[in-house]
Structure 1
Amino acid sequence: SIDHVSTRYAPDDDARRKQFTRILSSIKDEIARLKHLVSDLLNYGRPAQLALQRVDVRELLDETITLVRPQADDQGVEITLDQEETAVEVRGDRERLKSCLSNIAINALQAMPSGGRLIAQIHRSDGLVEISISDTGEGIGEEALGKIFEPYFSTKKSGFGLGLAVTKKIVDDHKGSIDVRSEIDRGTVFTVRLPAIKDEE
């Protein structure tokens, strides 16, 4: 198990041990995300059983960036994070929303195998929380763009074409919306909009 690896193989010096612990923590988070993804795939089309709670979207985005940063570093992708200084809360299922953002960020990195820039932003607008993740990758053609959220459709040679379909379902289950804009050779922007928690709630 991961806990066994942590106990047996942890480095002796403090700096490397902290890095080792962070990596293992990211692995645990990714395993949990994949479990939820598999569950969502198996239950695709059924009403979702959401564990609703107050969720600070800034924390989710921070955790998403922590998860994908090692891959971004390997590919030479620069990450820019632009978000509010105070809590930006929605009512939702924390793990599923995190899976949603992770799916989008991973797709962005897959579009930039030889480097580029990923920009993640959070803003409030008219009672909504807007989360956008953009890349400077290869872009998506107009025909494919119209099918991007359909189950089993993929722009990649490998993969099952379910990640973005599940992502849209998660957003829909939270009474939100998701859209995508893209230009060939210039990049893609995914924007998720979720109802914000009002100050009096």
Structure 2
Amino acid sequence: MSEQTATAVQRLMDQYTEIARLAGALAHEIKNPLSTIRLNLQLLAEDIEDEPSPHQQRSLRRVTTMQNECRRLQGLLDDFLNFAKVRQLTLRPTNLNKELDDLLDFFVPEAEEAGVEVVRYLDRELPTVLLDRESFRGAVLNLLLNAKQAMPNGGQLTVATTSEGDWVLVHLIDTGTGMDDRTAARMFETFFSTKPGGSGLGLPTTSKIIEAHGGAIRVETEVDRGTHFTITLPVPPRLAAQAATVQQLDIPT
């Protein structure tokens, strides 16, 4: 990379950082009074409930509607702040299978309640990868929840890990409603959502986290057949070399 190109890239990164900082500050300025509004609405609702006249009941319904809208805006702000903040990942050598096992143990009760069977096929010879555990778990959990929501009548969710050369792959395959080509092409766009009341920031945030790990995410989907997400993560050269050495030592002579 030439010095001129490096300077241009750094300038763009600085601009992005400043925009993210300003956006976060604006969201916080909205979030603080919104919390006060929610508190006052709660107090107002409690006062109205003490006088259950027809007029007061109509007022209570209006207050409840405003409370619901405040909660929706609060959720949108939280999603936006999570997306906008500049990610400084703390990457550490991590057993990816163990992270997925722990996350799935946490997710399975919710999946079973929705009639979703979770099947695991984890390659036990998987190389170690560098992960920021908290952000990566959040990204994968978002995909798991999306898969569950795509199977309103139950179904099966398969989670598998494989390796290809210097890459590790995580597959999440559901038997849900799938998506048409237009939706699939736009699903990672900021603020694009097909869910009523959705922020359209969940999948863009997930993609951003995976890219910050040096990886990528792709999707294959078909209406009424399901969706297959694939997360690709790099194996650091040193760790890849160590894994190759171990595999060589395991070969009988």
Task: Sort the TM-score into its range (normalised by shorter chain).
Answer: 0.7 to 0.9
1:82 counterpart = 2:124: no
Fraction of identical pairs, as percent: 36
The letter of the residue matching 1:183 is: E
Equivalence for 2:73: none
Q: Tell me which of 164, 174, 192 is aligned to 1:153.
A: 192
Compare CA radii of gyration and give the structure with the larger one: 2
Distance in 2 separating the partners of 1:45 and 1:129: 27
Question: Residues 86-165 of structure 1 correspond to what in structure 2 (within 5 A)?
Answer: 86-165=125-204
Question: Residues 27-46 of structure 1 correspond to what in structure 2 (within 5 A)?
Answer: 38=78, 41-42=80-81, 44-45=83-84
Distance in 2 separating the partners of 1:133 and 1:96: 18
For residue 131 of structure 2, give the secondary structure of its aligned residue in structure 1. Answer: strand
1:200 counterpart = 2:239: no
Q: RMSD of the TM alignment (CA)?
A: 1.7
For residue 186 of structure 2, give the secondary structure of its aligned residue in structure 1. Answer: coil
What stretches of structure 1 move > 3 A for 4+ residues in a row?
43-47
Larger % of helix: which? 2
Q: Normalised by the size of structure 2, how large is the TM-score? A: 0.61
Equivalence for 1:27: none
Contact preservation (8 Å) 1:175, 1:195: yes
For residue 242 of structure 2, give the secondary structure of its aligned residue in structure 1. Answer: coil
The 1:43–1:102 alpha-carbon spacing in structure 2 relative to 1, beyond 3 Å, is closer
Structure 1, gaps ≥5 residues long: 1-37
Equivalence for 2:6: none
**After superposition, what is the alpha-carbon deviation per residue over 1:53-103, rounded to whole angstroms, capped at 9, x for unaligned?**
111110121122112211211111111100112453211211111111111
The letter of the residue matching 1:92 is: L
Structure number with greater CO (CA < 8 Å, separation at least 6) is: 1
For residue 188 of structure 2, give the secondary structure of its aligned residue in structure 1. Answer: coil
Give the superposition deviation at 1:200.
2.7
Distance in 1 separating the partners of 2:94 and 2:162: 15
Give the superposition deviation at 1:116.
0.4
Distance in 2 separating the partners of 1:73 and 1:44: 29
Distance in 1 separating the partners of 2:196 and 2:84: 25
Distance in 2 separating the partners of 1:86 and 1:135: 24
For residue 66 of structure 1, give the secondary structure of its aligned residue in structure 2. Answer: helix
The 1:179–1:76 alpha-carbon spacing in structure 2 relative to 1, beyond 3 Å, is same
The letter of the residue matching 1:116 is: G
The letter of the residue matching 1:55 is: T
Distance in 2 separating the partners of 1:108 and 1:88: 26
Give the superposition deviation at 1:43.
5.6
Distance in 2 separating the partners of 1:147 and 1:194: 22
Contact preservation (8 Å) 1:88, 1:129: yes
**After superposition, what is the alpha-carbon deviation per residue over 1:153-194, rounded to whole angstroms, capped at 9, x for unaligned?**
112113211111100000111111100010000000000000
Q: Tell me which of 70, 77, 101 is aligned to 2:109.
A: 70
1:57 counterpart = 2:96: yes
Q: Normalised by the size of structure 1, how large is the TM-score? A: 0.76
Give the superposition deviation at 1:126.
1.7
